[in-house]
């Protein structure tokens, strides 16, 4: 399938939207890091496109006290793919994550 040809205006609009989305996701990660937003709050907002398209590994890395190694171990232990996004988590996986990190 060929990519659609975008005009310069369409390309600029898409670029602006992508930048805004990344900034909102970075703000969310900062709130998580500070402890202003809990894991369960984030998991409950999985229908929000900003939250839903965030990788679970990035979410775990944003939690205070959890680094890259520990987050990878948690993902392996719960059998969650390292490329899984929050919107793709099942209800059991959400429960397991919440229970593991409570």
**Which CA distances in Å does 30 have to 5, 15, 77, 90?**
36, 23, 26, 25
Asked if the structure places residue 52 within a domain, the reply is yes
Share of the chain above pLDDT 90, in %: 75
Are 59 and 86 contacting, i.e. CB atoms less than 8 angstroms apart? Answer: yes
In a domain, 84, yes or no: yes
Task: Count how many domains the chain has.
Answer: 1
Question: What residues make up the domain containing 87?
Answer: 26-100
Residue 82 resides in a domain: yes
Q: What is the pLDDT along the chain (102 residues), one digit of tens a residue?
A: 677 888 889 999 999 999 999 999 999 999 999 989 999 999 999 889 999 999 999 999 999 988 899 999 999 999 999 999 999 999 999 999 999 887
């Amino acid at each position: 399938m060929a990519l659609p040809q975008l005009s310069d205006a369409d390309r600029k609009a898409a670029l602006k939207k992508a930048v805004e989305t990344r900034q909102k996701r970075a703000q969310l990660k900062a709130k998580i890091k500070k402890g202003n937003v809990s894991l369960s709050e984030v998991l409950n907002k999985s229908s929000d496109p900003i939250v839903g398209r965030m990788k679970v590994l990035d979410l775990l890395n944003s939690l205070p006290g959890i680094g890259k190694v520990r987050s990878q171990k948690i993902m392996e232990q719960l059998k969650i793919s390292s490329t899984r996004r929050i919107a793709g988590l099942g209800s059991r996986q959400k429960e397991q994550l919440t229970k593991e990190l409570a």
